[in-house]
Amino acid sequence: MINVSIVGGSGYVGGELLRLLLRHPDVTIQQVTSERLAGKPVSGPHPHLRGVTDLLFTSQTLLTRCDVLILALPHGSAAHNIDVFATLAPKIIDCSADFRLNNPADYVRWYGEAHPHPEWLPRFVYGLPELNRAAISDADYVSGVGCNATATTLALLPLVRAGIVAPTDVVVSDIKVGSSEGGAQSNDGSHHPERSGVVRSYAPTGHRHTAEVIQSTGLTNVHLSITSVELVRGAVAQVHCLPSTTTDEKSLWKAYRACYRDEPFVRIVRERGGIHRLPEPKLLSGTNMADVGFDLDPESGRIVSICAIDNLMKGAAGSAVQCLNLMCGIAERTSLDMIGLHPL
Ligand SMILES: NC(=O)c1ccc[n+]([C@@H]2O[C@H](COP(=O)([O-])OP(=O)(O)OC[C@H]3O[C@@H](n4cnc5c(N)ncnc54)[C@H](OP(=O)(O)O)[C@@H]3O)[C@@H](O)[C@H]2O)c1
């Protein structure tokens, strides 16, 4: 059995990690931390785990050595304390943005401050299995992937790999996101009368995950726009591409199939009829699936590539467990094979 400890276990990503790892046949959860709730049952902030586990939260100061440490802390916490965390486990998966970017200058540009430990950046592998499976399998340190970056990158990979979208082509990813992207801590914007029913432009330009998409795809003219909508879980990226060369539907099918034919957690969704013709996040709640589809405007040549995910699963905890499986030589689908709910 692999002993795993979760740091930041009282948050939404921590709750999903617990849900997945409590039923993982090769994992024992050793410790789960919360500073606020140390000594209290994990089923307090995660009531869906009532009767499933008797685990209690512990403080970070009481962490003991384990096989894999998963960090689900707010931005900055992992980076500042990485030297301490590295003494606690030979393998680390960090769900935050702290080790996603290779170039230290990108932290100044996109996060507004210098990285406190840039010497650690080359040691982390970017944890998107569909992009980096072999490197993740060999890695001791893996970073999580931004949920909006996951949806955008998975929508773009087939087009980039097939050369349908060139590095300087204009690409705009319009992403609708649910409220759980903001985590479990409330703020003015998450207050129910302010959040309920909104279609609110949250970050029309300048979203931080743009840096990850540029790094992952090699596209230099890619832009993200984020809108908060009436969802708790889920994100859908509609990625508008204006390629300099023309393409056709047959070439697009070929590109998407070549990219995702063998991927365990990516489905190509493009039906001719019915109401569920293209990817929808609602159908993916609680699953690790990414549904990817496309449409082509034959007159303008605009391609709209679409990817839907559950931000807490494929966008965070699900991908982290997928990476854990790869890093530990466990079958990749283990503990991640759940089917979605319909209707919901
Ligand atoms: N939510 C998403 O959709 C999503 C997707 C991808 C990646 N992520 C990333 O995953 C990480 C966790 O996200 P989340 O949504 O689970 O956040 P969250 O719900 O706010 O949970 C944050 C966790 O960190 C702990 N914490 C808060 N402040 C801390 C501090 N100063 N020092 C130590 N611990 C602290 C909290 O525990 P206590 O306060 O109880 O001690 C809690 O367990 C973030 O870096 C986020 O960017 C989130």
Q: Which structure tokens are listed for 306?
A: 């679409």
Amino acid at position 209, single letter: H
Per-residue pLDDT, 13: 98
As a whole number of Å, the CA-based R_g of the chain is: 20
Does ligand 1 have an atom closer than 6 angstroms to the CB of 33?
no
Beta bridge partners of 268: 292
Q: Are 24 and 44 in contact (CB under 8 A)?
A: no
Residues labelled as active-site residues: 147
pLDDT value at residue 294:
98
- Supply the pLDDT for residue 344: 92
What is the reported pLDDT for 228? 97
Cα separation, 155 vs 17, whole angstroms? 25
- Region of residue 143 (phi > 0: left; psi between -120 and 50: alpha; otherwise: beta): beta
Sheet architecture: strand order including 141-143: 27-33, 2-7, 68-71, 91-94, 141-143, 125-126
Length of the chain counted residue by residue:
344
CB-based contact 230:195 (threshold 8 Å): no
In the prediction, which pLDDT does 20 show?
Answer: 98
Please identify which residue in the block is written with the tokens 């430990």: 117
Whether the CB-CB separation of 232 and 176 falls below 8 Å is answered with no
pLDDT at 35: 98
pLDDT of residue 236: 98
Long-range contacts, stretch 276-280, CB < 8 angstroms, 24+ apart: 278/306, 279/236, 279/306, 279/307, 279/308, 280/236, 280/308
- Amino acid letter for position 66: C
Predicted confidence at residue 10, as pLDDT, reads 98
Closest atom of ligand 1 to 96 CA is 45
Please give the Cα distance from 201 to 334 (Å, whole number): 37
Is 315 near ligand 1, meaning CB less than 6 Å away?
A: yes
8 ligand 1 Cβ < 6 A: yes
Whose tokens are 């990285």? That residue is: 115
Integer angstrom CA distances of residue 116 from 60, 101, 120, 127, 128: 20, 13, 9, 21, 24
Measured CA to CA, the distance from residue 301 to residue 18 in angstroms comes to 45
By the 8 A CB rule, do 63 and 3 touch?
Answer: no
Among 19, 59, 73, which residue has the most ligand 1 atoms within 8 Å of its CB, making it the best to mutate? 73
> Is 178 touching ligand 1 by the criterion CB < 6 Å?
no
In angstroms, rounded to a whole number, what is the distance separating the alpha carbons of residues 99 and 117? 10
| CB 74 near ligand 1, within 6 Å | yes
pLDDT along the chain (344 residues), means of 10: 98 98 98 98 98 98 98 97 98 98 98 98 98 98 98 98 98 98 95 96 97 98 98 98 96 98 98 97 98 97 98 98 98 97 95
State both tokens at 57: 């939260």
The C-alpha atoms of residue 49 and residue 42 are separated, in whole angstroms, by 8
Cβ-contact 319, 144 below 8 angstroms: yes
| DSSP notation for 255-302 | HHHHHHTT-TTEEE---SSSS--S--GGGGTTS--EEEEEEE-TTT--
- The CA distance from 294 to 186, in Å, is 35
By CB neighbour count within 10 A (0-12 exposed, 13-18 middle, 19+ buried), where does 185 fall? exposed
The best mutation among 7, 31, 35 to test binding of ligand 1, ranked by most ligand atoms within 8 Å of the C-beta, falls on 35
Work out which ligand 1 atom sits closest to the CA atom of 316: 6
Question: Domains in the chain, please, with CATH?
Answer: 2-123 (3.40.50.720), 147-312 (3.30.360.10)
